Each structure stands twice: as structure tokens, then as C-alpha cells.
Structure 1
Amino acid sequence: MAPMLDDVTTKRLRWRAHHRGTKEADRMIGGFFDRYCGGWTPEEQALFEALLEEQDVDIMAWAIGTQPVPERFQGPMMTLMQRLDYLPIDR
């Protein structure tokens, strides 16, 4: 079982993931956080926190495959982000 993030860290990362500056980035990055953060290890949390330091346009381009993913972000987390199965769809 993966160690849980502490409440303060979870709240801070959730806020940062959902308040990116554009609705599209909020949905993509925030939706990804909501879907997957519960099972993250401290190392995965640190990787996501580093990802949040990047520009939204870059993160979104990596996720949809229009730009190559930098080596430091390649791996299981980016593979999950590229699935795009966590995006909320308005009906």
C-alpha cells in the first residue's frame, strides 16, 4: 500500500493543480491530480510537484503528444497523463 500524502501537501498540490490559469489546464492537470494522487508515493508526489513548475502549454503538449516529453518527466506518471481518461466531460 502506497503511503498517503499528508493533508497539507494534498491540499496545496490540489489547489495548484486546479488553479493553472486557463480552464483547459485546470481540467487537464487538476483532473489528473484528482484521479491519481491517492496512490502516489512520496517520489511520485515530488515528480508531480516538479511538473507543476512547468508551463501549462508544455504540460498539455506532452500529455496530448504534440511535443516530446522531457526525459525527467518520462515514465509511468506521464503515461497515465497521456491516456486523458481522467478529463471531465460536460454533458
Structure 2
Amino acid sequence: MMEAGNASRKADRCSCTRYIPARRHLHSFKGQTMTGTTRSSHDLDPRRRRALVRSWRRGTREMDLVLGGFADAQIDRLTESEMDEYETILAVSDTELFRWVTGEAQIPQEYDTPLFARILASRGS
């Protein structure tokens, strides 16, 4: 009876070491590693730094990729009024934004702006 208990514990130990797989790279649609921002924030003002971080830490990976990718490419080029608009977009829940981005729901008029169109267009680049 004791041998069965030892064998069971040994099996548990062995399975635990394989529970967490070896590090694997996740790949995006273009074959690039999905690790987060590709942009340094050292040259950004505090407002843009916060927006960049909020873009990459949304809560869902899909929206991280959409908004984070856009922010990496555009955050330093946004005007102050576009930054106001972008921060308003960042305040929208991921669930709602995802439905707009995928076309599952119509974009409300107050968000259907040239900036949001640029965010949508950035998904393919």
C-alpha cells in the first residue's frame, strides 16, 4: 500500500514539472512576436506616456494589439485635440470597443471620427 502512495506522489511531481510549458513565442498576424510595445517612451511627455501604457494594458489582448499598435505608431504625432479624443476612446470598455472594431456593433456617432478611422486602418498595417 505504501508503494502505491509513493508512486502516486512521484507521478504528481513529474506532472507538475511539465505543467508549465517551456517558453513559446506568440505570433501576431504578421509573424511578429507579440510582446507589447515596440516603442520607447523616453521622448514622450507624461500624458502620452500614460496613454501609451493604457493602450497596451487594456485587459484583453485583442484590444492591446489594436490600440497598442496604433499608439506605438502614432502617439507622438497626435495633436492635443486628438489626444483628448484618444483618451476618451481609452475610457471605453474593451467589450464595447471590440464590438466596434470587429463591426459587430455600429460605432456611436460621437466616436465615429477621423481618429477612430485611423485606429481601424492601423489594424492592417
- Provide TM-score, normalisation by structure 2: 0.59
Give 1:9-88 correspondences, 5 Å limit.
Answer: 9-83=47-121, 84-86=123-125
Cα distance in 1, alignment partners of residues 93 and 68 from structure 2: 14
Cα distance in 1, alignment partners of residues 74 and 109 from structure 2: 21
SS at match of 1:66: coil
Cα distance in 2, alignment partners of residues 13 and 82 from structure 1: 17
Please say which of residues 29-38 and 9-18 is displaced more in the overlay: 29-38
Match of 2:9 in 1: none
Cα distance in 1, alignment partners of residues 54 and 102 from structure 2: 21
Contact 1:18–1:29 (CA<8 Å) still a contact in 2? yes
Q: RCO (CA 8 Å, sep 6+): is it higher in 1 or 2?
A: 1
CA RMSD of aligned residues (A): 1.7
Task: Evaluate the alpha carbon distance shift between residue 82 and residue 54 of structure 1 in structure 2; reply closer, same or farther with a 3 A threshold.
Answer: same
Contact 1:63–1:78 (CA<8 Å) still a contact in 2? no
Aligned length: 82
Cα displacement string for residues 26-68 of structure 1 (whole angstroms, at most 9, x for unaligned residues): 1111111112222211110000101111111211221222211
Q: Structure 1 runs of 4+ off > 6 angstroms?
A: none
Cα distance in 1, alignment partners of residues 87 and 99 from structure 2: 18
Higher helix share: 1
Structure 2: 5+ residue runs without aligned partners?
Answer: 1-43
- Provide TM-score, normalisation by structure 1: 0.79
State the percentage of identical aligned residues.
26
Structure 1: 5+ residue runs without aligned partners?
Answer: 1-5, 87-91
